Amino acid sequence: MPYFADLKNVLETYLEPPQVADAERAYKVAECAHNGQMRSSGDPYITHPVAAANILAELKLDHQTIMAALMHDVIEDCDVTKQDLTEEFGETVADLVEGVSKLTQIDFQSKEEAQAENFRKMMMAMTQDIRVILIKLADRLHNMQTLGALRPDKRRRIARETLEIYAPIANRLGIHRIKEQLELLGFANLYPLRYRILQHSVKKVRGHRKEVVERITKQLRDRLKDTGLKCQVIGREKSVYSIYKKMRDKVGTFNEVMDIYAFRVITDMEDSCYRVLGQIHNLFKPIPGRFKDYIAIPKANGYQSLHTVLRSKSGMHIEVQIRTELMDQMAEHGVAAHWLYKTGNSHHPAETKAREWLQSLIELQQNVGDSIEFIENVKIDLYPDEVYVFTPKGKIIELPKGATPVDFAYAIHTDIGNTCIACKIDKQFSPLSTPLVNGRTVEVITAPGSRPNPAWLSYAVTGKARTNIRNFVKNMRHDEAVHLGRRLLEQSLKQSLDEFSEEQLQQITEVTRYKSLDDLLANIGLGKIASALVAHRLTSDEKELKEVSKKVESAEERSPLAIKGTEGLVIKYAKCCRPIPDDPIMAYVSPGRGFNVHRENCPNIQRAHKHNDHYVPVQWSEELEGEFNTELRLHVFNQRGVLAQVTNIIANQDGNIINIDINELDGDVNIITFLMGVRNRVHLASIIKKLRVIPFVNKVYRYPDIQPKGQKRDEESH
């Protein structure tokens, strides 16, 4: 067993002899299973699982993880089943191996779908046992180390996936050592030319930098030694990928980035960290706004340290991280450092944060529609930058950079997010779209019966918020489509569906090949199937169907559908003409999207007459609710106080101003366009009547200026 010898030496330094023997048995199974298989590099395949196990052994992981790493490809690539592993090594090891294995027995529609589903499977296995992802990270790290044997296009694809998913996961779990290696190898393979240029540039300036680092290190050590603080001072060198990211994000040029010198001070106790900070701030001048206390408020991955940026007398910028030995160990190895499976009861921040993240993945999995949506939302949650805000009771909530009160509400609880209607930031009412910043106190105001607004998707950033909003919108759209479909079908039948037997309804569902009556009604509501044809199937013989279907869609044979005004996602009001109650209206059916209600003389709806199967006559219901948006355009003389007087009149007439747009017509006249909410045409006419008597208003009219048949234009010119 030549390949196992080095690994065995490492394992013997921290595992019991029986555990090392178990690992050796696992190696023999893997060696037998992979016998004859070769890697793209030409090496025997067994070298790969042994290398992955070596990476984990350096982190001193338990023997079950090492065994699973040695056999992580036997289910996927060899004639070995999970049952075989369970009988030989127990259920825990078998579950770990199965969790890392890809789904090879299922046919997927695309390569992207297969990758996404495999990723979802692995992440769900990780929620049961976090060691699954540790094995996968070790597997990916060795694959990246041996990527040179693959085609360039395949190298780029794997490198991009590593930078987008696996390096951020390692960061999220606090495993800094693996994260840095994955980033460097991913960068080198995705952008080889940029990597070589930067690496060469770093080597060129390294000599001069070494002298500066040694001088500053001595200054720091001398100051801390004089005060009696036991510390270790280390000069840190920035990674090539870290330099590239700063340049890419326009933080600075290469020379500006390299002019920042980084140091780490490691001390014995948490209290000593703050004492060291005070001494360093006396030695060098701190830069305002560049101090961060991650000890009091750990990062989302459990990382703890004090960060400060200083300026030396010569003007150089000096970055210093101050932490204890335990914090340094956790920063390098994350959840793998203070191993959960050895203690059985650990409350270290890295492990606590990892558990919280895994719980959020479970909630995400329960609400997403498919694997691709799942992986996109996981990517969102892997953002490295965090914002820390407070609840009114003082609890700290961690959110990604750019998060809004909507994300905050869902972070507290799904029900809080679903019923959120407003928020206060530092006791001041603020829009739900306001980006949150560190240190603010956020209070969410809820109302029973309220529901998520689809518009939130434009500014919610967390996976949990976006998934819950999207899931609610899907269900709401389906429910509204079912309701509208029922109304359309009953209108075509001229009787209620309750008058038909369950057998008749079941039969029509089977004939139209839908899974249920609700699915059939939803597709009627979305315009995918004509209600008249379904009605005919329910009331007529099959022989007459073809003949009737040709004429049943004509507008003359269909009575208007009553529009109530409360429909949301399935019935929409066209922005091109903005219909309001009392306007003559008609609707255009977009298959799969529902009904678009237009004013009758709208140029865009006139085309529907040429396609009668897309045209639906509609009328306003007597039970109207809510406000309807319309545009009002005024030509006003350019005088002081014009806008204030006009808006005051509109407000006094209960008009709800949503937006104002002002353009200059000529030197003396401006055009003001109001987007406003009104109840109906009568309400709009009363507003116009009040506006037209103002001396400086030259013209007022509804926009667009469409003339309904037999009605006067709602305008007045002076």
How far apart (Å, rounded) are the C-alpha atoms in residues 349 and 172?
12
For residue 109, which phi and psi values (nearest 5 degrees)? -70, -25
Helices 176-190 and 131-145 pack at an angle, to 10 degrees, of 40
CA atoms of 603 and 593, how far apart (whole Å): 21
CB atoms near residue 17 (< 10 Å):
9
DSSP 154-191: HHHHHHHHIIIIIHHHHHHTT-HHHHHHHHHHHHHHHS
CB-CB contact of 576 with 557 (8 Å): no
Q: Is 292 exposed, middle or buried (0-12, 13-18, 19+ CB in 10 A)?
A: middle
Three-class SS of residue 661? strand
* Cis peptide bond N-terminal to 704, omega within 30: yes
For the chain, the helix, strand and coil percentages under 3-state DSSP, each to the nearest 5: 50, 15, 30
Exactly one of 24, 43, 58, 77 is catalytic; name it: 77
CB 571 within 8 A of CB 595: yes
- Number of residues assigned to the chain: 718
Rounded CA separation 152/189 (Å): 8
Three-state secondary-structure class, residue 289:
coil
Give the residue from 587, 582, 580 showing the smallest Cα distance to 618: 587
CB atoms within 10 A of CB 83: 9
Structure token pair of residue 582: 């009392």
Tell me which residue has tokens 């116009």.
Answer: 688
Q: What is the DSSP string of 547-605?
A: HHHHHTTSGGGSPPEEE-S---SSEEE-TTT---TTS-EEEEEETTTEEEEEETT-HHH
In a 13 Å sphere around the CA of 598, the CA atoms on its Cβ side amount to 20
Q: Is 672 left (phi over 0), alpha (psi -120 to 50) or beta?
A: beta
Q: And the tokens for 153?
A: 């296009």
> Is 268 a residue of the active site?
no
Q: Which of 24, 76, 600, 716 is catalytic?
A: 76
Query: CA-CA distance, 691 to 686, in Å (whole number)?
Result: 9
User: Which residue carries 């914002």 as its tokens?
Assistant: 387
How far is residue 418 from each of residues 226, 626, 674, measured CA to CA in Å?
58, 22, 31
In eight-state DSSP terms, residue 222 is H
For the chain, the maximum distance between any two Cα atoms, rounded to a whole number of angstroms, is 103
Phi-psi map region of 222: left, alpha, beta (phi>0 left; psi -120 to 50 alpha): alpha
> What long-range pairs does 52-56 form, CB within 8 A, spacing at least 24?
52/135, 52/138, 52/139, 52/141, 52/142, 53/7, 53/23, 53/138, 54/6, 54/7, 54/10, 55/138, 55/141, 55/142, 55/178, 56/134, 56/135, 56/138
DSSP class of 436: P
Q: Which letter does DSSP use for residue 312 in this model?
A: -
Helix H or strand E encompassing 285: strand 285-286
Neighbours of 336 (CB within 10 A): 25
Task: Identify whether 76 is a catalytic site residue.
Answer: yes
Contacts of 252 (CB under 8 A, 6+ apart): 246
Active site (catalytic) residues: 76-77
